């Protein structure tokens, strides 16, 4: 499986339409509540906090661990992050009317979901456990590298005048997501 977290989550988050025509997050997460519903005897507590049953919504947004990660990136006063992952996916496409902010939001949501799911699986298969603050630092590094690449590609893709610094993805990142 590709380890590129900006590709894998696209599959995890693959949108499909509900009966109301709304995009919803794929339910491919086989969380422990689903395993239990199939009759499998498994511990049912969340692997991130061990304080509540593991459901998809708990793991991705309601968990104290996940909440700490989301809150770190969406603390800017322009953001009012919805409470469920399905709503977040819809919301992040049109958060502020700023095209760059929206693009970064979409990348960031994918990265957060991927890192939370990967951390959950790491805890399931081994004894290693990263703190939320470590996870946040890893996501910051990944997004900054990705955005640096996007800025560089824009500069070299055409003989356009270089965009002003304040128009770059990285500048937008530090303005809104990592002030």
Let me know: does 102 contact 79? Beta carbons within 8 Å: no
The site that binds Zn ion (CB under 5 A) totals a number of residues, namely 4
CB of 85 to Zn ion, least distance (A): 14
Burial of 44: CB neighbours in 10 Å, binned 0-12, 13-18, 19+: middle
Does residue 63 touch Zn ion according to CB under 5 A?
yes
Alpha helices, H only, 92-163: 99-125, 132-157
* Cα 177 from chain centre: 13
Cβ at position 20, least distance to Zn ion in Å:
28
Give least dist CB 113 to Zn ion, A.
15
Whose Cβ is closer to Zn ion: residue 100's or residue 120's?
120
Task: Determine the interface stretch with Zn ion among 11-19, 44-52, 102-110, 147-155 (rule: CB under 5 A).
Answer: 44-52
Span interacting with Zn ion, options 41-49, 91-99, 118-126, 137-145, rule CB under 5 A:
41-49
Q: Long-range CB contacts (< 8 A, 24+ apart) of 31-36?
A: 31/55, 31/56, 31/59
Using an 8 Å Cβ cutoff, are 140 and 147 in contact? no
> How far apart are CB 76 and Zn ion at their closest, in Å?
25
Return d(Cα 73, Cα 75) in angstroms, integer: 6
Q: Is 49 in the site for Zn ion (CB under 5 A)?
A: yes
Closest separation in Å from C-beta 31 to Zn ion: 11
Note whether 48 binds Zn ion by CB under 5 A. yes
Q: Is 132 in the site for Zn ion (CB under 5 A)?
A: no
Q: Give, in order, the Cα–Cα distances in Å from 92 to each of 21, 31, 69.
A: 17, 24, 16
For Zn ion, which residue of 13, 25, 46, 139 counts as binding (CB under 5 A)?
Answer: 46
Query: Is 88 a residue that touches Zn ion (CB under 5 A)?
Result: no
Do β-strands 16-17 and 23-24 pair in parallel, antiparallel, or remain unpaired?
A: antiparallel
Q: Interface with Zn ion by CB under 5 A: which residues? A: 46, 48-49, 63
């Amino acid at each position: 499986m590709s380890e590129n977290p900006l590709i894998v989550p696209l599959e995890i988050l693959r949108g499909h339409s509900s009966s109301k025509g709304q995009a919803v997050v794929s339910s491919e997460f086989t969380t422990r509540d689903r395993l239990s519903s199939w009759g499998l005897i498994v511990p049912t507590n969340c692997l991130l906090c061990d304080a509540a049953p593991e459901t998809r919504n708990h793991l991705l947004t309601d968990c104290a661990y996940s909440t700490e990660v989301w809150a770190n990136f969406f603390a800017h006063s322009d953001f009012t992050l919805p409470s469920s992952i399905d709503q977040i996916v819809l919301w992040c496409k049109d958060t502020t009317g700023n095209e760059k902010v929206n693009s970064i939001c979409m990348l960031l949501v994918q990265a957060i979901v991927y890192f939370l799911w990967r951390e959950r699986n790491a805890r399931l298969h081994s004894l290693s456990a990263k703190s939320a603050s470590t996870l946040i630092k890893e996501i910051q590094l990944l997004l900054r590298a990705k955005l640096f690449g996007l800025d560089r590609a824009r500069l070299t893709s055409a003989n356009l005048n270089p965009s002003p610094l304040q128009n770059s993805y990285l500048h937008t990142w530090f303005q809104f997501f990592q002030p």
